[in-house]
Amino acid sequence: MFVFVLIFMVTVLYYINFRRLRKPLYEFSERMPTIGEVPVLGHTHWFIGGPERLLENIRKLAELVDSSGGLSKIWIGPSLYVVSLNPEDVQKILENCLEKDSSYKFLQTWLGNGLFVAPVELWKVHRRVLLPIFHNRVIEDYIEVFGQQGDVLVQRLAEQVGKPEFDVYKYITSCMLDIVFETAMGEKMDVQHNPDTPYLRARNCVMSIINMRLFKAWLQPDALFNLTPYAKMQKENIDLTHKFTDEVVNKKRALFESGGLQKEGRKDLLELLLTRDMKFTNEELREHIDSITIAGNDTTALVVSYALLLLGSHEEEQDRVYEELKGIFGDSERLPTKEDLNKMDYLERVIKETMRLYTVVPIIGRKTQKELQLSNVTLPAGVGCAVAPFVMHRSKRLWGPDADCFNPDRFLPEHSAKRHPCAFIPFSFGARNCIGRHFGMLAMKSILATVLRTYKVTSRTIDRLKIEILLFPVPGHMISIHKRNTAC
């Protein structure tokens, strides 16, 4: 009994001292409006009802912020996050706060110091080295792979023609995996025909465990997580994925050192990394390649799947895309070239409008490293900043009363020019934005063009969404397809 009383008293004293030290932070927080905050827990209870309820609460908070045009806050356990929907403030946050917030630490066990999660000082050096390998000229060499894998996708989809609705995401994500493995490390995995390998199972398992930790507050402290069977499962599966990439890296390194790498022709990203002046260790190479394949796959596959869902329920817009493709390809069945992709203006607008309505990276978390002056307030150092492109992209203040409607022509150059550069940020903004955005845009155009030249898509509208790190529709990406009489 005495021990329990002692533990209780120590905990209370610790808590009182903890609050005393953080008094300035609490005083700062009191000035900001919010909803749903409860004593001690803050907003942590939002995570208990699951990913769908979390999104609903974020939307309600967004309405409050949008109507006041200012800032709001969320407390997740002891961490304070400032939420802003004001593009000027978002620009200041994304340009000045380059450190990721602590929620990214769950990914760090897997991706180490790859670009996505690296601490800012290391990130600065590595990003400079990686930027040239994502240059437009390099990425354009991969257009052939986008077309070839899109063609395999069209053949795989043939099994669904005329059948009831099916989840298209699993087809698209296999296609994207084949693209990223071939372009990032030169591996032809043929996931489209072999979707169930030990490596892919391990990858999915790690993703699910990381996602679960984000939503189960009691699994977040390492001390508690390590007591559960998930810790062992996570370690075993991370080891398996690391072993796979390590073998590819070792093989490539040996070829590079023996002068056996092809001199001519297309180079994959790993080969390009090996030939940079900065000598990366094999571990660093693995961390970069794993980060690129993970950051590049599901994001791109999700946008393509959402675009198909939207076009499936907007016949007029789908017809416009098809007419554009007919104008480009005529009767030819060739794979899309760089010139073809450059001509797909309307399809590009469809993709942008899809990314606005279904922003697949719905929340970006950063941390202030020093004081930051926003329009109405000075943020202290060490505060989390939650930028929420998903809610910003649906803001009626920024996008008008029809913000929830699908209208690709919002992205006509004359309309885009009038908007603040941070009103539309599916790839984030500033120096730590998405390094693969050009890759992603070309791959999405190529895949969508190849599918839509062959099939007409129908679908129902999307009504329920959830956040599982990325943004997913609750019922899946359900569409049905019919073969067009004349493919273009």
- d(Cα 31, Cα 349) in Å, to the nearest integer? 40
Least Cβ distance, residue 473 to ligand HEM (angstroms): 16
Q: Considering only residues 149-168, where is the footprint of ligand HEM by CB under 6 A?
A: none
Judged by beta carbon, residue 174 or residue 300, the one nearer ligand HEM is 300
Judged by beta carbon, residue 432 or residue 477, the one nearer ligand HEM is 432
- d(Cα 363, Cα 58) in Å, to the nearest integer? 10
Judged by beta carbon, residue 366 or residue 410, the one nearer ligand HEM is 366
Contact criterion met (CB below 8 Å) for 188 and 181: yes
Contact with ligand HEM (CB under 6 A) among 22, 127, 251, 466: 127
Nearest of 201, 393, 192 to residue 301 by alpha carbon: 192
Q: Considering only residues 338-377, where is the footprint of ligand HEM by CB under 6 A?
A: 360-361, 364
Least Cβ distance, residue 291 to ligand HEM (angstroms): 5
Q: According to the binding rule CB under 6 A, does residue 436 interact with ligand HEM?
A: yes
Contact with ligand HEM (CB under 6 A) among 252, 367, 393, 432: 432
Least Cβ distance, residue 432 to ligand HEM (angstroms): 5
Residue nearest to ligand HEM (CB): 436
Contact with ligand HEM (CB under 6 A) among 106, 116, 146, 169: 116
Contact with ligand HEM (CB under 6 A) among 199, 256, 406, 427: 427
In DSSP notation, 150-209 reads HHHHHHHHGGGBTSS-EETHHHHHHHHHHHHHHHHH-----TTT----HHHHHHHHHHHH
Stretch that binds ligand HEM, among 245-253, 398-406, 421-429, 448-456 (CB under 6 A): 421-429
Least Cβ distance, residue 429 to ligand HEM (angstroms): 9
Which residues are bridge partners to 459 per DSSP?
479
Contact criterion met (CB below 8 Å) for 286 and 246: yes
Size, binding site for ligand HEM by CB under 6 A: 22
Mutual orientation of helices 229-257 and 169-185 as an angle, nearest 10°?
40
Contact criterion met (CB below 8 Å) for 15 and 40: no
Stretch that binds ligand HEM, among 40-48, 49-57, 211-219, 423-431 (CB under 6 A): 423-431
- d(Cα 61, Cα 35) in Å, to the nearest integer? 6
Least Cβ distance, residue 68 to ligand HEM (angstroms): 26
Contact criterion met (CB below 8 Å) for 94 and 422: yes
Extract the tokens encoding 415: 């309309």
Mutual orientation of helices 437-454 and 315-329 as an angle, nearest 10°?
90
Least Cβ distance, residue 306 to ligand HEM (angstroms): 10
Stretch that binds ligand HEM, among 38-46, 145-153, 298-306, 404-412 (CB under 6 A): 298-306
Nearest of 144, 143, 186, 157 to residue 441 by alpha carbon: 143
Contact with ligand HEM (CB under 6 A) among 143, 209, 303, 469: 303
Q: How many CB atoms are located within 10 Å of the residue 454 CB?
A: 21
Contact criterion met (CB below 8 Å) for 436 and 294: no
Q: Considering only residues 238-297, where is the footprint of ligand HEM by CB under 6 A?
A: 291-292, 295-296
Judged by beta carbon, residue 139 or residue 374, the one nearer ligand HEM is 139
Extract the tokens encoding 488: 């273009």
Residues that bind ligand HEM (CB under 6 A): 115-116, 127, 291-292, 295-296, 299-300, 303, 360-361, 364, 426-428, 432, 434-436, 439-440
